[in-house]
Each structure stands twice: as C-alpha cells, then as structure tokens.
Structure 1
Amino acid sequence: MTICHTDRINLDTSWYVEESIQVDNTYDFETEDAGYHENILQAIGNTPLVKLNKVVPANVQGTILAKVEALNPGGSIKDRVALNMIETAEAEGRLKAGGTIIEATSGNTGIGLATVAAIKGYKAVLVIPDRMSQEKIDFLRAIGAEVIVTPTVGPNDPENNVNVAARLAAETPNSLWTNQYKNTANPQAHYASTGPEIWRQTAGKVKVLVCGMGTGGTISGTGRYLKEQNPDVKVVGVDVRGSLILESWQAGHQVGDDEYEKARFLVEGIGKDFIPDTMNLDIADEIVRLEDADCFLMARRMAREEGIFAGGSSGGAVAGALRSKFVQALQPGELCVVILPDSGNRYISRIYNDEWMRANGYME
C-alpha cells in the first residue's frame, strides 16, 4: 500500500504516559567522566567473572567462576601481556618510533601485539607454527600483521618459530623481539592486572585459581599476586598429554626428552616441549594432566550449556578445574576462579567442526 499525505494512520498511543518519563539532569558533564576510552587499548582488562552452572557436576560443591578473557579487545588474555611488553620496552628505550615488533606466537599474543602496534604506529611481524588455526592466521593478517608460518618442530630445530623470530630480530633494524617466553613483562602483566582484578571481584574470598599452562605468565603472575594476599590460596595448573610440564613440575626442573611421554597434541595455548623462563613451576600446588579431547569436548559443552563460546584452552581449564582435588574439596559458597583465555571464534574450523573432531578421533 502506498501512503500519501491524505491517508490517515491510526496509532495506539495508550501505552504512552508522559508522566512516566523521568530524565536525570543531575549529571555534571563538566566534572564527571563522560564514559569513553581514548583508544581501544584502554579497554583491556577488567573482564567479568561468570558463574558456571550446568557443566559443574553435583559432586563439586564450591562455586566455579569463569574469568572471560575473550572480552578483551583482541579477544584474549594475551592483550594484557602484549600491552605490558610493548609499554615496558618503550619506557626502557628499547622500542623506537616506527619500529618493528617481532614475536613467536601461537596466535593470541600476536593478535594482541598487532592490535597494540596498530594504535601505536609500529609494524608487527609474527612467526606462527603451522598447527595453529587458520582463523588466527587470517585475523592477524586482517589487522595488518605480517605472518610467517613455520613447521611445528622441536625447540632445537632452526625452523622452530622461536628460533626464526630470534633470527629475524637480529636481521631487522630498529626491531624489538618481545620474546614472551623470557620477557618478565609477561607474568608482570598478570601480577599487576589479572591478580588484583580477581582479588577485588571476589572480595578476597577466592580459594582456588585454575589456569592452563603455556608460557606460564598467567599462572605465575596471577598466582603470585593471590598467594601474596592469602598464602592459603591454591593454584592449579592444567597441562596436556605430550607436554613435559607435569613431569618437570614433579622433578623440580625441566626434564629431558626421554623423561616424558612425547605425543602430538592439538590444543592451543596449553602444553610445552620446554619450560619457559616466564613459568614459575613452584607457584603450582597441583597440575592436572588432560587429553586434547577433554579440552575440546568441554569447550563445546560450555558453548551449548553455559552460552560461553570459548577456545580449547578454556575448555581445558574448566575440565582441569573439575578434576582438581582442591576444587573437589571446596565447601558450598567457597570460590574457585578459572581463567578462560580466549574465544571459540578462532577455532570454528576445528573444535567446533564435527568433521574435524571425528577425523582426529575426538568424536564418534
């Protein structure tokens, strides 16, 4: 129907009561924060704690709170690390205007670095192993990073992504290799932000912290802060079969190649074939060892049962928490915080793809 100016439209306005509209005119825009950030970097951190309900079995009496790091601007907890590493380098004079940032990354640190580089005017060159998801690689390129994909090989191989990053840094003028595996600004980012946030959000009542273990920055920095506030806080790490972290923790030092079970693992962000300098093994009171399938299937459950679309390392953190002896010992009302590092949108072609899951033996 065509409506012209002679048509009359009858509208029901009975719902409208003028007196019901109240406007608060007391806000002083001259003196109060107008509520916006100067740039996206100011939105990093202060992620929420969300109670998990349906995935928590009846035998777990405590309250399980997920810290949803996917809500950082770059979509992961690594935004915190990236910003702190770059700003620390700037303050120390190691990164000059127009410089190039180089890093070996499983994707999320690279995304954080590329995000910070975009705002601050740096170039980002990121070296990523080929076992990482295509979504991460595509995302990195979309936000302006140069991506170099290397084979997944051992730490002593010259084509290992860490070794390639080191070589590029030596060859590139005015460059900074952030080197997240050795950079103290990595755990310091969590000591300065993640830990204090959890302490504040739980009003100091957190009893157990659960984190996946990759670079070790999250568990080392966050765990240290919480234990300084309350030495009784228990810190639980999550490892994956094929990694040497559990055996190294048990031995008190990095074990040799013949001292742990080598196996291919596909979960990203958990597990290592070496112990990074940023990982303080002594901070962990317990380490839970999982299979890839445990991580992936729990991530899928969280999406469908909790509405939290998270990555495999997040699924691993939750699955590990539910197996922890400290979590199982919690009494009603006692709090466990589980850190969920990133979103599931970087793994749609993998852990959220039924065909991929079946092809790799994770689903029937």
Structure 2
Amino acid sequence: MEHSYESVLDAVGHTPLIRLTRVTEGISAPVYLKAEFLNPGGSVKDRAARHMVAAAERDGTLRPGGVIVEGTSGNTGIGLAIVAAQRGYRAIVVVPDKTSTDKLAVLRAYGAEVVVTPGGLPREHPEHVSQLARRIAEQTPGGWFANQYDNPANPQAHVDTTGPEIWAQTGGRVTHYVAGIGTGGTVSGAGAHLKGVSDGRVRVIGADPEHSTYGGGDGSPYYVESIGHYLHPDTAEDVWPQSYHTGVLDAVERIGDREAITVTRALARQEGLLVGASAGAAVAAALRVARGLGPDDLVVVLAPDSGRNYLSKYFDDDWLLRNGFLDGDRTRPVLGDLLAGAPAPAVVPATASTAQAREEFDRTGAEVALVVLGRTSAAPLRAAGDVVGALRRDSLKGDSLDGDSIEPLIAPALPAAGIGEPVDAALARIEGDWFAVLADGRVRAVLPRPA
C-alpha cells in the first residue's frame, strides 16, 4: 500500500515543498517553503528526535524501559515524547518558562513529564534548562540525556533526510537554502548535504533573531521561540552548540522580532500557511535573499513548526498589543501618542551601588529607573526580559547609603503596556503611579500615570 507505515516514526519526513506566491510579489526567483509542520509531531524536530533515539539504542546508552530526558524550548521534547510513546520509554522534558502554554499542553498530551524552569539564567546555573535536564538524567535510573545541542545525531538527521529530500524535490535546481539557527542542526546538516551534492554551488543562509549572539547581537532576550542564542550576562563562557557547524553557512541574516512576527501573520493570511515565528524569521530572510536573485535561481526556506503552538502569542492581537508589536488602530489615542520628547528610560544595573544609582538619577533627571541585568549592550532600548525591578530616586536618602548595594531598595518591575494600546484601556488595566511602555518588546519609556 502506497504511503502506509508500520509506525508513526516511519511517517517522519517526506514533507512537501510549497511555492510562496503572494508574499513574494515583485520577486522573480521562485521561493519554496519546506513544510516541516506536516511531520507527525508538528515540527522539524521529529527528524532529530528519531535519529538521536535510534543512535542511542544502537550504542546502548538508551536501554529498553529507559527514560528519555531533554532540555528544550518544546519542539524537540514533543518529537522525543512521540518516539518515547511509540518505543515504550518514559519522557521527561525540561522547558524554560517562556515556552508557550500550547506546547506544554501538547507535551503532556503525549505523556511527557514536564518540568518548567526559569529561562533567563546563566548557563552555569544549576536550574538552567540544560543543566537541570542533565542532572535529572543522571539521577534517574535508566535515564538518557538526549542533549540535542551537542548530539551529532541531530545534524546527521538532516544530512540523511532533509538535505536529500530538498535536492530530489527540486531536481537539483536549488541554489539557496535558508533556515533558522537554533541548535544549528537543521541549517548545518541539510546545508552540508546540499553543498556536497552540488559541488558547493548551493548557498546556505542562516536566519537569526536580531539580538542573538549567532549573528553578532548582544544576546539579550527576544520573542521568537526556538531559534537564536540567548546569553545571560553572568554566563562565564558563551558556548555554542556542537550541532551548529558555522563553516557550512555562507551568511547570516539578522531578523527583528517585529519583522518575523509580521511575516508569520502574512503567511497565514496571504498564503494559507499557519507557521511559527521561527518560520516567519526564516521566510523574512529568504525574501531578502530572493530579492537579489533572478528566475534561474531557486530558494528553499525551511518552516520548522506550526502556528498552532503559538495561537496565544503571535496570532493573539492582545498579546501583541501588550508587548508593543502592534501600533494600534488609531481610532483613539494610544500610548505612543504620549511619547513625544520622552527620553530613553534611566537604567541601573542590579549590581550597582547606591552612589552609582544616584549618579544615573542626576545624569538623567529621572524619578524612577529600570533595574536591569548588567549587560554591555549596543542596543538603544533594554529588553523587557532583562528588567528585574525598579528603583525610585526618593529611596536613595542620605549619604550614608553611598557605599551600599541597591539590592534592598529594588522594587518589583513596573507594570508594562504596549506602544499601540489605547491609553484608556491600558490605564484601566495597569496599576501604580509609574509604568513602562514597550515597543517591540523593549522599554521605550517610563511614564507617570496621567492625572
């Protein structure tokens, strides 16, 4: 029987290429999307999960009745949970707290035990996603740590399957391959195969969030899940995954959160393709590349997962408004209208002394400052995820404090609202006499509540 499989694992891969026809208006080079959301678990990570488990079974590190443990933003965990269910293993998945609730529900539906840990931690912290997953695997009888970031079976999955599929589906005509950089396995593995089979003719382009360190960003938080490389400023060494083979890539396109989200929504409304924002980032990069190409070129861009995992985020107008990714419908005044002449917010590192804080207040004339992680950043605005509290000028009373830490004086972070929220609605929702205004997930200003 054609297309009948002995198990769900045999249905992984074989995903179609779909030509983009409307978001590519004015572009002469054909752009095809590799629809990885059509894998059984809804993402490209099904491929790596199947390969990693098969390799561990072969080398004996995962034995019958064992426990698969992984740290993940969600998709690899889903893939591993499917493999675990089909092969008779338990699955324990450690995820950061920024993971969408939709993904958590899917993980639990497949029977995985979900452990949620704070996402914004230094790599060396014992509760960091990878550290916690590794420790759970070591302490669990029969535990096996999948370790997608450094597991060679991750990129090999794409050398063996994704790359050959793209080459065959395009009849060897592909000239440019574009994929997001997360663990690096997808872009590196398929890219390596395509370069090899084409004698180096295929160019490989990575799509990376603007603030990710892969493309030269400062490592501060961003809103597109599942790609990029966040760097906590207290991390001792910025270690990149061994699954990411930088030498395979010809270029990296840095994509801002707003551009990625805008393209994600356009794919749903103009192409009928409901995908996640990592796919939106990759397509944004592919469109940039394709604009400089001609009809004899052919671009393939990989869409890692489905937008069904992000209905509460990128497709929710209220979420977008509150985080500053929509500008409002302009039928009534929005918070952005209050920002004319508003300075960038005062910023004090969480490790500052009271004397240093006083200097910042004197320099800016501010009454309230953001308390932030001590990041050396060229970015003009601080990411909301880097803000750990607030400090008021009037809390710094008395010269006797000047040698002290500000730590006991730090108040909770200010309530926040997005630049496009209607003023009346935002003020009805938030409490307090000061609030932060977000533009594209970054603090544009700190304002007093209007009288």
TM category, shorter: 0.7 to 0.9
1:142 equivalent in structure 2: 109
1:271 equivalent in structure 2: 228
- 2-side partners of 1:124 and 1:172: how far apart? 11
**Compared CA separation, residues 201 and 35, structure 1 to 2 (3 A):** closer
Structure 1 residue 292 corresponds to structure 2 residue 251: no
Cα shift readout 1:36-80 (whole Å, capped 9, x = no counterpart):
21111111001000000111131x210000000000000000000
2:125 equivalent in structure 1: 157
2:177 equivalent in structure 1: 209
Matching residue within 32, 56, 73 for 1:106: 73
Matching residue within 276, 300, 315 for 1:352: 315
2:298 equivalent in structure 1: 335
Q: Is the 8 A contact 1:37 1:43 kept in 2?
A: yes
Cα shift readout 1:95-115 (whole Å, capped 9, x = no counterpart):
111100000001000000000
Q: What's the secondary structure of 2:168's corresponding residue?
A: helix
**Compared CA separation, residues 124 and 321, structure 1 to 2 (3 A):** same
Deviation at 1:144, TM superposition (A): 0.1
Cα shift readout 1:6-65 (whole Å, capped 9, x = no counterpart):
xxxxxxxxxxxxxxxxxxxxxxxxxxx36421111111001000000111131x210000
1:19 equivalent in structure 2: none
> What letter is aligned with 2:159?
Y
2:137 equivalent in structure 1: 169
What does 1:318-333 align with in structure 2 at a 5 Å threshold? 318-324=283-289, 327-333=290-296
**Compared CA separation, residues 35 and 267, structure 1 to 2 (3 A):** closer
Q: What's the secondary structure of 1:206's corresponding residue?
A: coil
Cα shift readout 1:200-249 (whole Å, capped 9, x = no counterpart):
000001000000000000011000000001111100001112210012xx
- 1-side partners of 2:122 and 2:129: how far apart? 9
1:37 equivalent in structure 2: 5
- 1-side partners of 2:196 and 2:132: how far apart? 38
Deviation at 1:290, TM superposition (A): 1.0
Moved over 6 A (4+): none
Q: Return 115-124 or 292-301, whichever deviates more.
A: 292-301
Q: What's the secondary structure of 1:66's corresponding residue?
A: strand
2:435 equivalent in structure 1: none
Matching residue within 73, 90, 94 for 1:127: 94
2:341 equivalent in structure 1: none
> What letter is aligned with 2:277?
G
Deviation at 1:330, TM superposition (A): 1.9
1:28 equivalent in structure 2: none
1:10 equivalent in structure 2: none
Q: What's the secondary structure of 1:334's corresponding residue?
A: coil
- 1-side partners of 2:321 and 2:220: how far apart? 19
- 1-side partners of 2:171 and 2:195: how far apart? 15
Deviation at 1:292, TM superposition (A): 1.0
Question: How many residue pairs were aligned?
Answer: 317
Residue ranges of structure 2 left out of the alignment (5+ in a row): 231-238, 328-451
Structure 1 residue 69 corresponds to structure 2 residue 36: yes
Q: What's the secondary structure of 2:175's corresponding residue?
A: strand
Q: Is the 8 A contact 1:169 1:176 kept in 2?
A: yes
Matching residue within 149, 163, 171 for 1:195: 163
Cα shift readout 1:104-135 (whole Å, capped 9, x = no counterpart):
00100000000000000000000000011000
Q: Which structure would you say has the larger RCO, counting Cα contacts within 8 Å and 6 or more residues apart?
A: 1
Percent identity of paired positions between Structure 1 and Structure 2: 45
- 2-side partners of 1:363 and 1:202: how far apart? 38
Deviation at 1:263, TM superposition (A): 2.4
- 1-side partners of 2:219 and 2:321: how far apart? 23
**Compared CA separation, residues 272 and 262, structure 1 to 2 (3 A):** closer
**Compared CA separation, residues 187 and 262, structure 1 to 2 (3 A):** closer
- 1-side partners of 2:68 and 2:287: how far apart? 39
- 2-side partners of 1:160 and 1:242: how far apart? 20
1:118 equivalent in structure 2: 85
Matching residue within 40, 43, 48 for 1:81: 48
Q: What's the secondary structure of 2:253's corresponding residue?
A: strand
Deviation at 1:338, TM superposition (A): 0.2
> What letter is aligned with 1:195?
G
> What letter is aligned with 1:354?
D
Cα shift readout 1:242-292 (whole Å, capped 9, x = no counterpart):
210012xxxxxxxxxxxx424220111111134111101111111000111
Q: Is the 8 A contact 1:73 1:79 kept in 2?
A: yes
- 2-side partners of 1:347 and 1:221: how far apart? 26
Q: Is the 8 A contact 2:219 2:229 kept in 1?
A: no
Q: What's the secondary structure of 1:246's corresponding residue?
A: coil
Q: Return 164-173 or 115-124, whichever deviates more.
A: 164-173
> What letter is aligned with 1:154?
P
Residue ranges of structure 1 left out of the alignment (5+ in a row): 1-32, 248-259
Structure 1 residue 312 corresponds to structure 2 residue 277: yes
- 2-side partners of 1:195 and 1:108: how far apart? 20
Q: Is the 8 A contact 1:241 1:263 kept in 2?
A: no
- 1-side partners of 2:204 and 2:214: how far apart? 15
- 2-side partners of 1:83 and 1:282: how far apart? 25
- 1-side partners of 2:261 and 2:244: how far apart? 24
> What letter is aligned with 2:293?
L
Cα shift readout 1:163-183 (whole Å, capped 9, x = no counterpart):
101111111111110100000
Q: What's the secondary structure of 2:94's corresponding residue?
A: strand
> What letter is aligned with 1:165?
A
